[in-house]
Amino acid sequence: MSIMDIFSPDTDTIDISGLDTLISFSRYQPHHQDNFFTGLLLAEDLMSHKGVTLYTNGTTITPDRIARLVEIHDMYPSFEFEFKIKRSPELISKFKQEIITKLAKLLAFRSKYKIYTKFFGENKKEILSYFDNFFIDEARILTVYKMKFLTDASPLKNSMLFFNHSLSMAMFAYALVHTDEIKKVAPFSQEEINELVSAALFYSFGATNQTDTILKEEPDNRKEIYNDVIRTSPDLVKDLNPTPRTLEAMKFASDYNFDVLDFVKKEDKTCLMANIITISDIFLQTESGLFEVRKKISHIIDGLNIRAIRSKLNNTVVKALTIALHFKDIFDFYEEMEMLKNLCQFEGGNHGLPYPLTGFKSPTLFVCKNHKNLCEYYEKSLKAVTVVTPLEDLPQGKYARCTIATQKLLDFYRGHYGEIKEDFRKSEKAKPAPSA
């Protein structure tokens, strides 16, 4: 039996062979006792090498008692203690407190920044109160603490980022489902909120369970491994008896990484949950630099909006996050661009297409994708774009500008998006030139 079974809701006791194993598991350090597991109990009498009872069933394992066992072991090094251990209510309470404390630290860190004021800062007490109730369930506490223990025990740098990611996913899911944009589409009951938060929290359990495997890979391969292992997450939480909707939302969200996008445009409760998880995962990975260089939040939001208008992400959830983080101008910009795509009425209409859609080099012109050179807004004198590699609906070739849509877009751009564009221009200018 593994010492990890101490975190299994179905296991009342575990066997630990050897004093060194107990020392490691209990985090015993003679001169540093702050992290000691205060709450492990003996599940049966502990006997000496001569069959004498050292500690009786129900005795709490303390640093002083381990120190005594170390002295005995030093005198009789060939003797190995065999421990049968059980959890105490005190230990469960300690686990819960450590989880809530970690959540509070993550929340406090984000609340310091103006961008998160509306999303988290104004609701900090409500969020912590929710999670305090959410973690009443002992099995849930044990499972989440196992995730923490696994990342704590890893000797590899950045392992804790994976546990932080899971907690942040849960907080983002809770905050998103309370935005006006989500409420308008589908108000969630308390039970449904719990299902969503559970799905978000345990979505990346497969990754925390294999943190070392991921981090030992070359950086370029880590995200691929992450995408593979999170598909195991539903099996890892089966002891919690998750609802079918929770499991299905987790599955949809993990399938997204393999280009299964059927749920993206749907907004029934299960699909909406999966979309919230997917968008939170993308945002948080990029914000924390989990697999790549960290990006400015404004750049991340811009990228999410681009993917939303390409039907690669759910528009409602992207809008909810964009507005909650005070980037309404970005959403308005892409919403305006969608309107301009429908502006063309010539011979069936919808011939105008924004170009290019490449992140913060946001589209500053519209081209006529179908070469309608008899249209009064077709700029005959100039081929504005040469497409070498096919882009979305634009095959290779030369394209002229649609003057009506381009001008309206530029007017909007200058009025609502100039500051962000200027910020991007400066950041691009500051980048070192690529090496040959």
The answer on 314 and 368 residing in a single domain is no
- Residue 34 φ then ψ, to 5°: -65, -35
> Residue 433 domain-assigned?
no
The answer on 316 and 209 residing in a single domain is yes
> Residue 346 domain-assigned?
yes
> Residue 276 domain-assigned?
yes
The answer on 178 and 114 residing in a single domain is yes
Cβ pair 371, 344 in contact under 8 A? no
Q: What is the pLDDT of residue 38?
A: 84
Q: Is the pLDDT of residue 430 over 50?
A: no
| Count of structural domains, the chain | 3
**Range of weakest confidence among 50-59, 143-152, 251-260, 394-403:** 394-403
The answer on 273 and 149 residing in a single domain is yes
* Domain termination residue (choose one: 87, 106, 124): 87
Mean pLDDT across the stretch 110-126? 84
Q: What is the pLDDT of residue 329?
A: 72
State the pLDDT confidence band at 421, using cuts at 50, 70 and 90.
Answer: very low
> Residue 77 domain-assigned?
yes
pTM of structure: 0.79
The answer on 209 and 186 residing in a single domain is yes
The answer on 310 and 171 residing in a single domain is yes
Q: How many CB atoms lie within 10 A of CB 263?
A: 23
The answer on 276 and 230 residing in a single domain is yes
Q: What is the pLDDT of residue 12?
A: 82
* Domain termination residue (choose one: 303, 326, 349): 326
> Residue 198 domain-assigned?
yes
Mean pLDDT across the stretch 212-238? 94
Cβ pair 135, 96 in contact under 8 A? yes
> Residue 315 domain-assigned?
yes
Q: Is 352 left (phi over 0), alpha (psi -120 to 50) or beta?
A: beta
Encode pLDDT of 52-92 as tens digits. 999 999 999 999 999 999 999 999 999 999 999 998 888 89
The range of the structural domain enclosing residue 385 comes to 330-428
When the pLDDT of each residue in the chain is averaged and rounded to a whole number, the result is: 85
The answer on 52 and 181 residing in a single domain is no
The answer on 230 and 83 residing in a single domain is no
**Range of weakest confidence among 21-25, 56-60, 414-418:** 414-418
> Residue 424 domain-assigned?
yes
Encode pLDDT of 155-194 as tens digits. 888 899 999 999 999 999 999 999 999 999 999 999 999 9
Q: What is the pLDDT of residue 37?
A: 83
- Residue 358: name the closest of 380, 327, 391, 384 by CA: 391
Residue 173 CA to residue 148 CA, distance in Å, equals 20
The answer on 307 and 404 residing in a single domain is no
User: What six digits make up the tokens of 412?
Assistant: 């909007």
Q: What is the pLDDT of residue 428?
A: 37
Mean pLDDT across the stretch 400-410? 76
The H helix count followed by the E strand count for the chain is: 19, 9
Q: How many CB atoms lie within 10 A of CB 348?
A: 9
Say if residue 354 is preceded by a cis peptide, omega within 30 of 0: no
> Residue 434 domain-assigned?
no
The answer on 254 and 164 residing in a single domain is yes
* Domain termination residue (choose one: 306, 326, 346): 326
The answer on 410 and 376 residing in a single domain is yes
Encode pLDDT of 191-208 as tens digits. 999 999 999 999 999 999
